[in-house]
Amino acid sequence: MPTLKKILPPIVAIVIILIIWQACLIWTPVNGLLLSAPTEIFFALYSNLNTIIYHCAISLFEATAGLILGASSAYLLSLLLTLNSTLKNTIYPLAIAFKAVPVIAVAPLLVLWFGSGCGSKIAVAALLSFFPVLVGSVNGLSDIDRSTRDYLSSLAISRRTLLLKISIPLSLPQFFTSMKVASSLSIVGAIVGEFTGSSMGAGYLINTASYYLQTPLMFAVIVLMSLGSLGLFGAICWLESKIIYWKLQD
């Protein structure tokens, strides 16, 4: 559990940033359509709280579902690549190359294939979550040095036992590290998917607020989605502490 000593510095930093932000908008002639004051953002959040929560909850569901789908499929693929070096040399470079394709270019295709509902947004979130987990898992599963691997093989330990008892436990720290990175990317994927075509979700609400020049509402949605992203990150940290507690105690 986080202690007051750990959470107090970022809270103080946020308060100072908000005070400076508010003061700069009071003392400088900045157009309110370009940048809203913190007080305006909080008022917009308070005034539209139910609507914002509803749309952000949809995006968080899409992001979480995409994260689970992308991370689980990436880990399963990493197991296959670890067991078969030929398959690894064939598929792994292709996966890394496909990662370079901008998600904004793929998102319209996914909407075309899966429709404008939650399915396409989950697919975009899964796609963005897939690659960091794949890279982290492959590195984690290959983390045993060659001398240790040769020694274990000399003890007549089967490859399956080596994978289940040694490689998979050793890969979990890197898996959860990549999951933390993927959690933020899944949020981005869900919102990008909603930008390309949706009637609900945080991306839809941001697009609508932008059309009507409701800048404080746009910032309010961003604030709540940021809090949701922190919650998803915290859930992964909690799960990590329960599963690989021995590593965290080192």
Distance CA 67, CA 115 (A): 19
User: Average pLDDT, stretch 90-110?
Assistant: 78
Q: Who wins on pLDDT, 58 or 116?
A: 58
pLDDT at 58 over 70: yes
Distance CA 138, CA 9 (A): 36
pTM given for the model = 0.84
User: Average pLDDT, stretch 151-160?
Assistant: 60
Say if domain 62-248 classifies as CATH 3.40.50.720: no
> DSSP letters of 92-146?
HHHHHHHHTS-HHHHHHHHHHHH-SSHHHHHHHHHHHHHHHHHHHHHHHHT-S-H
**Which of 58-62, 72-76, 189-193, 197-201 is predicted least confidently?**
197-201
User: Average pLDDT, stretch 137-159?
Assistant: 65
Nearest to 56 by CA among 181, 231, 196, 197: 231
Distance CA 200, CA 191 (A): 10
Nearest to 117 by CA among 53, 58, 64: 58
pLDDT at 69 over 90: yes
User: Average pLDDT, stretch 144-151?
Assistant: 58
pLDDT confidence band for 217 (50 / 70 / 90): very high
User: Domains of the chain: which residue ranges?
Assistant: 62-248
